[in-house]
Structure 1
Amino acid sequence: MSVVSKGLENVIIKVTSLTFIDGEKGILRYRGYDINDLVQYGSYEETIYLMLYGKLPTRSELNQLKEKLNEEYDVPQEVLDAIYLMPRDADAIGLLEVGTSALASIDKNFKWKENDKEKAISIIAKMSTLVANVFRRKEGNKPRIPEPSDSYAKSFLLASFTREPTAEEINAMDKALILYTDHEVPASTTAALVAASTLSDMYSSLTAALAALKGPLHGGAAEEAFKQFLEIGDVNNVEKWFNEKIVSQKNRLMGFGHRVYKTYDPRAKIFKNLASTLMSRNTEAKKYFEIAQRLEDLGIKQFSSKGIYPNTDFYSGIVFYALGFPVYMFTALFALSRTLGWLAHIIEYVEEQHRLIRPRALYVGPEHREYVTIDKR
């Protein structure tokens, strides 16, 4: 008898050497390296090299990677025009889809297995340009291409804002990029893999991933979690809000629970520390951090017996908010980081284990029915 796994839960669709997760122990590793060590000692550029080439770079290799990123930020004017022709109130992920689709239309000579990793580095650079200009379009500012620097995070923040980011902000952005880099095969990565399995191009595969990321149950979860803090408004309102919205009305506590983790998400702990550091210079961020802390205490007390704890989206929004980004940009910032994971997975799949992804459905409809012409119905 055929068995349907709803949501493809626990269905293995590929083998990977990219990311390891132990949901019971709260372990996350990229290429064997613990996420805590990568965040503490490494940089996003090192993570790019690690995910694409399978090892940590030497200083010379790292410098070459940075040079390649700095050379590839520019995008065709038609791509920027496509984004800026859209209304300011357009959805941020929708605008990113416009940008990646435009690049897919222009990049006509793409072929798999021809400098795939170098192509991925170019795309990662251009995604920085797209995300920065999605933000600038929605804020009513003119286009800006990231300028070369010694840091991908710094170049992105400089392109996004009209002010010089602090060293603390650059560090937080860099760590956030590492934390959201990859998480095995969630919905967006699966969507990218399905597209890539047809041998579609990389930009089109990213567009498929963005479409899946847009949903509030995936990439949009950070926005929904932060909206809770906005609705609560004051730390003194947390308990009343929790009892009404979560306990009595049985609404979902956004930023809590994960399909894989049955303990505290290791990324959430790091995002919490980053938020704690950044809030010292931002009174609004401090207010939301205090709300989140109190809400976390109540949530763990209520749900920990069921294996439901804070996930990475619970505190990440406070980090992005403290950096100066509005709520509507949180999912786009997720996409900026996850682009590396999407590309690493589709390259691994196409180069090492390619097969068209074509699942089946279990038919439960009626048996054969005789067709009755319309005048006899």
Structure 2
Amino acid sequence: MSQISRGLENVFIKTTSLTYIDGENGILRYGGYDIEDLVEHTSFEEVIHLMLYGDLPTKSQLQKLKSSIDESYEVPQQVIDMIYSLPKDSDAIGMMETAFSALSSLYGSPWNKNNNRENAIKLIGRASTVVANVLRAKEGKKPIIPEPSESFAKSFLKSSLSRTPSNEEVKAMDASLILYADHEVPASTTAALVTSSTLSDMYSCVVAALAALKGPLHGGAAEEAFKQFVEIGEPQNAETWFRNKITEQKSRLMGFGHRVYKTYDPRAKIFKKYAKLLSENNDNARKYFSIAQSVEDLGIKTFSEKRIYPNTDFYSGVVFYSLGFPIYMFTSLFALSRTLGWVAHVIEYVEDQHRLIRPRALYIGPLKREIVPIELRG
């Protein structure tokens, strides 16, 4: 009798040297480095090098990588026009899918060990331009190409928001990019891997990943968690809301619980730190941070015995809101960061472990049946 694993839970589909997760003890590492240390002591660009080349870069390697990203911000006008041709109320991830489909037609090249990583770096640079212009198109602003600066995070914020971000904001954005960069093989990464197993191009793999991320059970959690805080409205309403919505109506508390972590998500702790820091300069953000703290306390009191704690999406929305992003962009910000994880995993798979992913389904329908002529069917 074949065994079915619904949701592929605890099914290993590849080996990886990219990301290590210890869900029991709340440990997350990229390439052997604790996530806390990477956020504190490195930049997103350094993590790009780590994920693609296996080591943190030297100064010269980092400069080369930055130069490659800077050169790739420019995307063909057809792609920008395609983004702006879509209705302003289009889903932001759907707009990204459209843009990456176009990029696939322009840059989708066969896999080649000699240039896979360089192609991935250019893809990440182009992703910044795509996400910035998705926001600008939806907000009715003119298109823009990010300008090179000291960091990927700063260039992205400046082009997206049409202002020069503070050092605190740049650091928070950089931390967010690192925190969301990879998390082994969730649904979107698995979709990218399935696509890569057919030897489809890297951009098409990202389209597949975006399609999976678009579903509310994967990518939309940060948006839904933050909408809870907006619904609550004021910190003093948190307890009544929690009792009515979570305790009595048995609604799901968004931003709590994780398939892998059975303790506090280490990324959530770091997001909470930056949420507190940034919200101090924004009255509405400060209010939402206070609401989030109250809901967290109530959630932990209610669910800790079931080993359900805040995950990375619980506080990330407060960070993104504090930076100036509308709620509808939160999942696209996740995607901008996770693009690194997607391309790193598909490169690792295609180069080292390639095999066409072709699972089976266990048939449970009728056995052999005889066809009855249509005139005799009832």
Q: TM-score, normalised by structure 2?
A: 0.99
Which residue matches 2:220?
220
Alignment RMSD:
0.8
Instruction: Give runs of aligned pairs for residues 6-85 of structure 1, distance below 5 A.
Output: 6-85=6-85
Which residue matches 1:341?
341
**Which residue type is aligned with residue 252 of structure 2?**
R
Describe the superposition over 1:282-339 as per-residue Cα deviations: whole angstroms up to 9, x where unpaired: 0110000000000000000110111100000000000000000000000000000000
Within 2, Cα distance between the matches of 1:112 and 1:251?
Answer: 48
Within 1, Cα distance between the matches of 2:68 and 2:34?
Answer: 26
Which residue matches 2:121?
121
Instruction: Give runs of aligned pairs for residues 73-152 of structure 1, distance below 5 A.
Output: 73-152=73-152
Shift of residue 163, structure 1, vs aligned partner: 1.3
Q: Does 1:197 align with 2:166?
A: no
Which residue matches 2:2?
2
State whether residues 257 and 308 of structure 2, in contact with CA within 8 Å, keep that contact through their aligned partners in structure 1: yes
State whether residues 89 and 138 of structure 1, in contact with CA within 8 Å, keep that contact through their aligned partners in structure 2: yes
**Which residue type is aligned with residue 136 of structure 1?**
R
Gap runs ≥5 in structure 1: none
Q: Look up the SS of the partner of 2:20 in the other structure.
A: strand
Shift of residue 374, structure 1, vs aligned partner: 1.4
Which residue matches 1:257?
257
Q: Look up the SS of the partner of 2:28 in the other structure.
A: strand
Which residue matches 1:329?
329
Equivalent pairs, count: 377
Instruction: Give runs of aligned pairs for residues 278-357 of structure 1, distance below 5 A.
Output: 278-357=278-357
**Which residue type is aligned with residue 347 of structure 1?**
I
Which residue matches 1:206?
206
Within 2, Cα distance between the matches of 1:156 and 1:300?
Answer: 35
Q: Look up the SS of the partner of 2:280 in the other structure.
A: helix
Within 2, Cα distance between the matches of 1:94 and 1:323?
Answer: 23
Structure 1 residues 310, 139: closer, same or farther in 2, change over 3 A? same
Which residue matches 2:374?
374
Within 2, Cα distance between the matches of 1:239 and 1:215?
Answer: 30
State whether residues 274 and 319 of structure 1, in contact with CA within 8 Å, keep that contact through their aligned partners in structure 2: yes
State whether residues 278 and 319 of structure 1, in contact with CA within 8 Å, keep that contact through their aligned partners in structure 2: yes
Q: TM-score, normalised by structure 1?
A: 0.99
Within 1, Cα distance between the matches of 2:89 and 2:114?
Answer: 39
Instruction: Give runs of aligned pairs for residues 164-175 of structure 1, distance below 5 A.
Output: 164-175=164-175
State whether residues 28 and 34 of structure 2, in contact with CA within 8 Å, keep that contact through their aligned partners in structure 1: yes
Within 1, Cα distance between the matches of 2:75 and 2:22?
Answer: 39
- Any runs of at least 4 consecutive aligned residues in structure 1 with deviations exceeding 4 A, and if so which? none
Within 1, Cα distance between the matches of 2:46 and 2:254?
Answer: 32
Shift of residue 112, structure 1, vs aligned partner: 3.7
Within 1, Cα distance between the matches of 2:109 and 2:185?
Answer: 28
Shift of residue 108, structure 1, vs aligned partner: 5.0
Which residue matches 2:246?
246
Structure 1 residues 341, 330: closer, same or farther in 2, change over 3 A? same
State whether residues 112 and 199 of structure 1, in contact with CA within 8 Å, keep that contact through their aligned partners in structure 2: no
Within 2, Cα distance between the matches of 1:366 and 1:254?
Answer: 41
Which residue matches 2:274?
274
State whether residues 275 and 322 of structure 1, in contact with CA within 8 Å, keep that contact through their aligned partners in structure 2: yes
Shift of residue 375, structure 1, vs aligned partner: 1.4
Within 2, Cα distance between the matches of 1:324 and 1:112?
Answer: 40
Which residue matches 1:185?
185
Within 2, Cα distance between the matches of 1:272 and 1:283?
Answer: 17
Shift of residue 348, structure 1, vs aligned partner: 0.1
State whether residues 108 and 201 of structure 2, in contact with CA within 8 Å, keep that contact through their aligned partners in structure 1: no
Q: Look up the SS of the partner of 2:211 in the other structure.
A: helix
State whether residues 132 and 156 of structure 1, in contact with CA within 8 Å, keep that contact through their aligned partners in structure 2: yes
Q: Look up the SS of the partner of 1:281 in the other structure.
A: coil
**Which residue type is aligned with residue 8 of structure 1?**
L
Structure 1 residues 109, 258: closer, same or farther in 2, change over 3 A? closer
Percent identity at matched positions?
Answer: 68
Which residue matches 2:233?
233
Question: Which has the higher mean CA deviation after the structures are superposed, 104-113 or 39-48?
Answer: 104-113
Shift of residue 25, structure 1, vs aligned partner: 0.1
**Which residue type is aligned with residue 256 of structure 1?**
F
**Which residue type is aligned with residue 308 of structure 1?**
I
Structure 1 residues 52, 194: closer, same or farther in 2, change over 3 A? same
Q: Does 1:158 align with 2:184?
A: no
Shift of residue 66, structure 1, vs aligned partner: 0.7
